[in-house]
């Protein structure tokens, strides 16, 4: 699926859309990470997802499925990967990260809840980790709310409403090279799967 030819997909499983340097105020921490000249910053990605989430015609054009999430690929700024995603009541992504990509997302309709870990996980060499205390962060993003995050951000995103669809816009730069998916039982985080772009496009 290319950015120039948006397609819609439905899935009952989590998909890419949607770190210690994550920011809760939406501000950019790009100064602390290297990036190619001209590449979009976290602030650029946040501005894009907020503006796109405010486009009522685009948001209303997304087909919604009561059984699973739907998504459309968008043209993101500066070569970033972007998605418009529909969330039926009670759906979520499960715990995952975005490898080396920075990102941002904004809620266009409804309310989303994000649970995140304030920790940078090792890039490789582990299957199970025991998390220290006080790493959990949670926030609710109502319509118009957005946030950006840095590389290696570990989170899950949920539509906890029992009866209302949510819609959101997500952007990542560089385009996602992979997503690591985790299961969690209490303080124990287990690496379950590594997905690559061909798995969700």
| This prediction's pTM | 0.80
Give the torsion sign (CA, 63, 60, 104, 48). positive
Contact criterion met (CB below 8 Å) for 180 and 190: no
Contact criterion met (CB below 8 Å) for 6 and 73: yes
What is the structure's pLDDT at 8? Answer: 34
Tell me the C-alpha to C-alpha distance, in Å, between residue 10 and each of 97, 129, 130: 21, 32, 34
Question: pLDDT (tens digit, 9 = 90+) per residue, 33-52?
Answer: 455 668 999 999 999 999 99
Provide the percentage of residues in the chain whose pLDDT is more than 90. Answer: 74
What is the structure's pLDDT at 198? Answer: 83
Direct distance between the N- and C-terminal alpha carbons of the chain, in angstroms, rounded to an integer:
5
Phi/psi at 27 (5° precision): -75, 155
Residue length of the chain: 201
């Amino acid at each position: 699926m290319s950015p120039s030819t948006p397609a819609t997909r439905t899935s009952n499983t989590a998909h890419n859309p949607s770190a210690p340097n994550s920011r809760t105020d939406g501000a950019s921490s790009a100064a602390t990470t290297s990036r190619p000249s001209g590449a979009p910053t976290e602030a650029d990605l946040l501005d894009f997802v907020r503006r796109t989430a405010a486009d009522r015609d685009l948001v209303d054009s997304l087909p919604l499925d009561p059984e699973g999430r739907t998504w459309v690929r968008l043209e993101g700024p500066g070569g970033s990967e972007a998605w418009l995603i529909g969330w039926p009541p009670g759906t979520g992504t499960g715990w995952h990260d975005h490898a080396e990509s920075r990102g941002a997302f904004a809620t266009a309709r409804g309310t989303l809840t994000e649970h995140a870990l304030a920790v940078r996980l090792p890039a490789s060499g582990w299957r199970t980790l025991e998390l220290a205390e006080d790493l959990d962060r949670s926030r609710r993003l109502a319509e118009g709310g957005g946030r950006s995050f840095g590389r290696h951000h570990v989170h899950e995103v949920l539509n906890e409403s029992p009866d209302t669809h949510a819609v959101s816009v997500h952007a990542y730069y560089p385009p996602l090279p992979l997503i690591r998916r985790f299961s969690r039982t209490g303080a124990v985080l287990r690496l379950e799967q590594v997905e690559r772009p061909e798995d969700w496009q």
